Amino acid sequence: MPKLKVIQSSIRDVNFGQDVTIVEPVNMYECSIGDNCFVGPFVEIQKGVKIGERTKVQSHSFICELVTVGSDCFIGHGVMFINDTFAKGAPAGGDKSLWKETTIGNHVSIGSNATILPVSICDNVVIGAGAVVTKSITEPGVYAGNPAKKMK
């Protein structure tokens, strides 16, 4: 009979700022959360992630290693960040040297179910719901679609 291994979601080794609200269940470990942030239920925030002050992360979002999110940001429901681009045609697996960084500026709003590949997004950007951001965004504005393009 196969063995079953159950690992409980948890909050461990997190550097929290002041007045942070977390709605459980969440899985957060070895990350940093700024002052006055909100993290909704069913969110995973992985090792090394940094989230700036007054940022809100809504339910069912996944923020993987190598992601930095600025201050005064909004991460909608079900937003997925990606750090593995399948550079060799398959998942990197344990080879973290193939993973890439993502940097989100300040005052960035990311709509529900958006997917953010390893990119940089400048300050004052809105990403529409369901958008797939495949390239860095260097100019403030509203971006939507797959791949995301500037709308205005």
pTM of structure: 0.94
With cut-offs at 50, 70 and 90, classify the pLDDT of residue 17: very high
CA distances from 133 to 49, 53, 70, 150 (A): 19, 23, 17, 11
Q: What is the pLDDT of residue 152?
A: 73
Q: What is the mean pLDDT of residues 21-42?
A: 98
Q: What is the pLDDT of residue 142?
A: 98
Helical ranges in 56-145 per DSSP H:
none
The amino acid occupying position 107 is H
Range name among 3-7, 109-113, 127-131, 143-147 with the lowest pLDDT average: 3-7
Q: What is the pLDDT of residue 140?
A: 98
Cα 73 to Cα 104: distance, rounded to the nearest angstrom? 9
CA 124 to chain centre: 17
Q: Could you tell me the domains of the chain?
A: 11-86+96-150 (2.160.10.10)
Mean of the per-residue pLDDT values of the chain: 96
Q: What are the DSSP E strand ranges found in 111-152?
A: 115-116, 120-121, 125-127, 132-133, 141-144, 149-150
Shortest CA distance to 75 belongs to which of 20, 29, 37, 28? 37
Q: What is the pLDDT of residue 59?
A: 98
Q: How many CA atoms lie within 13 A of 100 on its CB side?
A: 17
Q: What is the pLDDT of residue 44?
A: 98
Q: What is the mean pLDDT of residues 28-49?
A: 98
Q: What is the pLDDT of residue 75?
A: 98
Q: What is the mean pLDDT of residues 72-93?
A: 93
Give residue-wise pLDDT tens across range 85-141: 888 888 988 888 899 999 999 999 999 999 999 999 999 999 999 999 999 999 999
CB 44 within 8 A of CB 63: yes
Read off the DSSP letter of residue 104.
Answer: E
> Per DSSP, what are the bridge partners of residue 111?
none
Q: What is the pLDDT of residue 93?
A: 81
Please give the angle made by the CA atoms of 52, 58 and 59, to the nearest 5 degrees: 135
